[in-house]
Amino acid sequence: MPDVLEPADPRGRDRALTADDAAGQRHGGAATPAEGSVPLAAPPRPDAAVSQQTPLLLFQHVSKWYGPVIGLNEVTLELRDGITGLVGANGAGKSTLMRLATGQLRPDLGSVRVRGHDAWSAQAKQLVGYCPDGDAFYEEMSGRQFIETMGRLCGYSRACARRRAAELLELVGMAGRAERRLRGYSKGMRQRVKLAAALVHDPPLLILDEPLSGIDPIGRQEFLTLFRGLAARGKCLLVSSHELDELEKLTEHVAIMARGRIAAVGTLAQIRDLLDDHPLSVLVAADDPRELATALLALDDVVGVDLGDQESLVVRARNPRRFFRDFGRLVLEEDWEIRRLEPLDESAHAILGYLLGGRR
Amino acid sequence: MGASLLHYRPWRGRFRDPAWSVWPIARVGLGVVLRRKLFWGLYALALLFFLMFFFGQYLLAYADTMELPPLILRQARGGLQLDGSGVMYRNFFRLQGSMVVVVLALAGSMLMGNDFQFGSLPFYLAKPLTPRHYLVGKFLAVAVFVNLLTTVPALALFAQYGLLTSSDYFFEHADLAAGIVAYGLVLTACLSLLLLAMAGWLRRTIPLIMAWTTLFFFLRQLAFALVYILGYDARWRLIDLWNDTYLVGNACLGIEHGTVRPLPQPETYEAALVLGAVCLACLTYLNLRIRAVEIVR
């Protein structure tokens, strides 16, 4: 749960929304407070339960440099179960985080642990299934051969690898096309094969880098159902995507990255609620927008009003709950006819925009 | 058919040690190269030297039964030293070496360079194995090629000579068999590590061939010119890595250092030190190089 907020800094430093350890473990995604932060305790979710187990994935003050370029900057993140979305602009550090979690990179500072094991170790990798963004295969191999090879790399015997490959190809819907060479696969088919390769050793933690990329809409629904099913079976999924709409369908819980840091962790609504220095924008369509604008400016939570065309305006307000309450009261008192009322930034797009934009 | 968890079963068994992943890695690499017709063409060319030795031994054994004049037999044996001695096997390794170098230059980019270039390394390194296992697997794949072209044919010639002459040959010259295996191991270790390091660095076929050619042909000519034309110290021949393996191989086969031609030559231990240093440098580079990500290029 996101309930730690650094105080606003007039010098414009990055603010990190981080989550409290003690709450909201059920849906994953908890991070320790950043140093110097002022904890604001948000009410725990009713279904939150504190897990007593070792975190499945734990980043502790992890930093990673590529020469002079910093890939991750003091990242602390903890996952236990459920589905956590990972969003961020290009270059935010998502892929670096995933590669650190899958043991392909070593952190320069801090530690990355998978159920207590160093992420670099073979024991940790046994617990992690990785579906990478790229799909560079050995094109001459068939899908079945590729999955079998991945199974052999995980420690299956030849017979077990063959059986497991058959099961997983059935799972991802590729059983009828498994004998074709990878060279002849479409993008979507490659994604399915990659997912099967990630699941081959039944890992408790799945790290999926853009898993919906290239999948047709029907396939996406299948995959979303599959991911939910895997989470229901106790697996922890960390899913990165640029398709924020799809991610919202999959999970409420997201970690937003910006410039190598975890900028916010929690549900989209909770993150939104905590952004009190970033006003909510609401589109209002009414007969007399100018009069409406004058009345709205009198409200305490309204920061500004932008008049659009002759029939609508955009009001920027803090504290959405209080604003909508006051707005409703105002509309009833003045008997205004409101034809349209639309928050412009409830979606993750807007949250990203607030967190990532405007800081150069 | 769509994706469904209907048939998904959790795994309740035990996994084998990561060391078992070495052979699948090697097998994938071998498969990539063996599917290429070009490789089979080069392998056929490489086998010509072997066939020359093989049929040469057979013809000489047949000629012995024909009671030809000794002078003719001596001349026939003298060219390739087809007398079952260490020199014969040394000559075989030396002749076969040129084909080995060519084959490896082409195979190197396929075996390892592509993993870096096209980004298939994450598929390996995200699995429960360490970069060490990955390297050993690739090393094994290269070792198979090197030994298919050198050690295995040399042992076949050893077996053939013993069968054509006398079974006592196997017992009296068992040290030769060990020497053949040792020479093969030296070539395997040096060439494999060099190839993997260069393939990890250069990745693409043409640059790899150019670098490989520089290493084994240009430096050879340079060393020759420095020592035999310009009269520099014999230690300058140490920059010729192929000559270094040749000197160490001579020692493995029990051939006296003074009989090596052309002279002067550096000492065998000096050649061994150079090869050891090169192998160590390659291992160090590979250890640093096996990272899946190059975001900052």
Q: Which residue has the tokens 């979690």?
A: A101
| Nearest C-alpha neighbor of A94 from the set A121, A71, A114 | A71
**Of residues B13, B20, B126, nearest to A104 (C-beta):** B126
Specify the pLDDT at position A273.
67
Q: Which residues of A are less than 8 Å from B130 in CB distance? A: 120-122
CB atoms within 10 A of CB B31: 15
Euclidean distance between CA atoms B174 and B184, whole angstroms? 16
In a domain, B18, yes or no: no
pLDDT reading at B209 higher than 90: no
- Indicate the pairing of strand A2-5 with strand A17-19: antiparallel
Total number of domains in chain B: 1
What tokens appear for B58 in the block? 């057979």
Report how far residue A225's alpha carbon sits from residue A220's, in angstroms, rounded to the nearest whole number: 8
For residue B104, is it within any domain? yes
Residue B109: inside a domain, yes or no? yes
* Beta strand A312-317 pairing with A338-343: unpaired
Residue B289 lies in a domain: yes
Encoded tokens for A98 = 């995933």
- Give burial (CB, 10 Å; 0-12/13-18/19+) of A112: buried
Among A283, A315, A288, A285, smallest CA distance to A301 is for A315
* Predicted pLDDT of residue A10: 34
Measured CA to CA in angstroms, residue B82 lies from B55, B153, B247, B251 at distances of 10, 14, 20, 19
Listed by number, the residues of chain A in 121-150 with a beta carbon closer than 8 Å to a beta carbon of chain B are: 121-123, 125-126, 128, 130, 132, 134, 136-138, 140-141, 149-150
β partners of residue A340: A285
Residue A7 pLDDT class (50, 70, 90 cuts)? very low
Q: Which of A134, A136, A171 sits opposite B5 (nearest CB)?
A: A171
* Backbone dihedral angles phi then psi of residue A237, each to the nearest 5 degrees: -120, 135
Identify the pLDDT of residue B80. 62
- φ, ψ (nearest 5 deg) of residue B232: -75, 170
How does strand A117-118 pair with strand A280-286?
unpaired
Residue B115 has pLDDT above 80, yes or no: no
∠B117-B118-B120 over CA atoms, to 5°? 110
Tell me the pTM.
Answer: 0.74
Residue A141 pLDDT greater than 70, yes or no? yes
* DSSP string for residues in B22-67: HHHHHHHHHHHHHT-HHHHHHHHHHHHHHHHHHHHHHHHHHHHHTT
pLDDT over 50 (residue A5):
no
Domain annotation covers residue B82: yes
Question: Does residue A140 register a pLDDT over 90?
Answer: no
8 Å CB contact between A63 and A108: yes
- The 8-class DSSP code of residue B262 comes to S
Q: Are A108 and A61 in contact (CB under 8 A)?
A: no
Q: Residue A160: helix, strand or coil by DSSP?
A: helix
Task: Write out the residue range of the structural domain in which residue B173 sits.
Answer: 28-294
Question: Peptide bond preceding B153: is omega within 30 degrees of 0, i.e. cis?
Answer: no
The pLDDT value given to residue B109: 79
Region B114-124 average pLDDT = 76
- The interface pTM score, or ipTM, of the predicted complex is 0.76
The rounded percent of chain B whose pLDDT value lies above 70 is 90
Nearest-by-Cβ selection for B32 from A103, A125, A140: A140
Q: Any chain A CB within 8 A of the CB of B78?
A: no
- Is residue B178 predicted with pLDDT exceeding 90? yes
In a domain, B13, yes or no: no
CA distance to partner chain B, nearest, from residue A253 (Å): 23
Instruction: List pLDDT tens digits, range B42-88.
Output: 888 888 889 988 988 888 888 777 776 666 666 666 666 778 888 88
Kindly tell me if the per-residue pLDDT of A337 is higher than 70: yes
Question: β-strand A128-131 against A82-88: which pairing, if any?
Answer: unpaired
Is A102 at the interface with chain B, CB within 8 A? yes
**Confidence band, pLDDT 50/70/90 cuts, at residue A258:** confident
Strand, helix or coil at B235?
A: helix
Q: Does B288 touch chain A (CB under 8 A)?
A: no
Handedness of CA B156, B157, B160, B166 (dihedral sign): negative
pLDDT on residue A242: 73
Per-residue pLDDT band at B6 (split at 50, 70, 90): low
HEC readout, A115-127:
CCEECCCHHHHCC
- pLDDT value, residue A253: 86
Measured between CA atoms, the residue of chain B closest to residue A90 is B295
Q: Cα(B158)–Cα(B162) distance, rounded to whole angstroms?
A: 6
- SS3 (DSSP) at B123: helix
> Is the pLDDT confidence value at B270 over 90?
yes
Query: Which of B39-53 are b and which e, b meaning 16 or more Cβ less than 10 Å from the residue's Cβ?
Result: beebeeebbebbeeb
Q: Is B71 on the interface with A (CB under 8 A)?
A: no
Going from the C-alpha of B253 to that of each of A219, B89, B96, B170, B174, the distances in angstroms are 64, 8, 16, 15, 11
Average pLDDT, whole number, for chain B? 84
> Distance between CA B203 and CA B185 in Å, rounded?
25
Q: pLDDT tens-digit profile of A153-211?
A: 999 999 999 999 999 998 888 888 989 998 889 888 899 999 999 999 999 999 999 88
* Interface residue of B7, B12, B123, B297 to substitute, partner A, most A CBs within 10 Å: B123
**Is B193 part of a structural domain of the chain?**
yes
Task: Report if residue B287 sits inside a domain.
Answer: yes
- Residues B224-239 have pLDDT tens digits of 899 889 988 889 999 9
Amino acid of residue A291: E
Kindly report, residue by residue over A18-56, the tens digit of the pLDDT.
333 333 333 344 433 333 333 233 333 333 344 446 889
